Amino acid sequence: MQDTEKRKKQAQTLRIFRAVHRITGISLVVFFMVIAVSGLLLGWKKNSNGLLLAPTQKGTTTELREWKPLHELQAVANQTLHQKISAKLSTRLDRIDVRQDKGSVKFVFADHYWGIQLDGATGKVLLIERRNADLVEHIHDGSILDRYLETEGGIIKLVYTSIMGLALLVFSITGFWLWYGPRQMQRKRPLQKQKA
């Protein structure tokens, strides 16, 4: 009698886990697809032949003493952005990526997905790049909505990554139990037949 009650409880638990697994999957399938595709693209960004992320260009020297000051290089990057792409684009920077080993500097802008690579020593424009990998990254982590809605402190990204992380955890636990639970119940069944 105890074994029958135990099996009923295990079957009940399996039904609950199956329902949670199904509801989580149906509710979040679009988000899981977005995360999967964008994660795959981010994994391949350096091997995309410049489609997602342009290769870092080489400057003339790696000797920092021979480089122009950053404020002069930034002025060149800003001028290039306005002359070659659009005078309406913001010059607010997200970051300056100094690549001493390559002799170049990347200026990555905060309000759009353009970047300018310059020779650190001469200030010559090495590359004007569309930074598609940054766009994919913002889609992947949900911060694209923070940018679009101009929210403070990245609250949408925080909520989105928390929900998706917890959902993945729930999916993993329920998925494991849906695989393991029936096997556990089948193992116990032959023992009961032998006792009978």
Confidence of residue 189 (pLDDT cuts 50, 70, 90): low
What mean pLDDT value characterizes the chain?
88
Phi, psi (degrees; rounded to nearest 5) at 193: -65, -40
What are the sequence ranges of the domains in the chain? 2-44+141-195, 54-130
Model confidence pLDDT, tens digit, residues 144-162: 999 889 888 889 999 999 9
CA 175 → CA 15, 35, 37, 163, 169, distances in Å?
12, 19, 21, 18, 10
8-22, 74-88, 138-152: least confidently modelled range = 8-22
* The predicted structure's pLDDT at residue 190: 52
Per-residue pLDDT at 18 exceeds 70: yes
Model confidence pLDDT, tens digit, residues 24-46: 778 888 998 999 999 999 999 99
* The predicted structure's pLDDT at residue 145: 92
Per-residue pLDDT at 195 exceeds 60: no
Residue 57 CB: number of other CB atoms within 10 A? Answer: 19
Per-residue pLDDT at 104 exceeds 70: yes
Phi, psi (degrees; rounded to nearest 5) at 129: -125, 145
* The predicted structure's pLDDT at residue 48: 92
* The predicted structure's pLDDT at residue 96: 97
61-65, 78-82, 175-179: least confidently modelled range = 175-179
Per-residue pLDDT at 89 exceeds 70: yes
Q: What is the phi-psi region of residue 125: left when phi exceeds 0, alpha when psi lies from -120 to 50, beta otherwise?
A: beta
Of 133, 138, 73, the closest CA to residue 99 belongs to 73
CA 120 → CA 44, 58, 81, 83, distances in Å?
28, 9, 17, 20
